[in-house]
Amino acid sequence: MFDEERPRNNDSFEPWNDPMLRNDPFAPWNDIMKKNDPFACWNDPFGQGNYRYESDNYR
């Protein structure tokens, strides 16, 4: 199970915290069209509108 004693910030790589990737204009968290997309997973905390991107992979 998950060990609560270890630091939590080493659990996963978060590219928006990386100083080089944070300023990447093509990153989805910086792309103004993707940042405001209500169906994007980073704007949709409950995962209600992510099927559009998933279905694009199966065309």
The pLDDT-based confidence of 58 (bands split at 50, 70, 90) is: very low
Q: Which residue has the higher pLDDT, 10 or 20?
A: 20
Contacts of 52 (CB under 8 A, 6+ apart): 39
The pLDDT-based confidence of 19 (bands split at 50, 70, 90) is: low
pTM, to two decimals? 0.23
Helices (H), 1-59: 19-22, 32-35, 51-56
How far, CA to CA in Å, does 10 sit from each of 4, 6, 42, 59? Answer: 12, 8, 20, 36
Mean pLDDT computed over 34-51:
60
Q: What is the pLDDT of residue 59?
A: 43
Q: Are 47 and 41 in contact (CB under 8 A)?
A: yes
Domain ranges of the chain: 12-56
Mean pLDDT computed over 17-26:
66
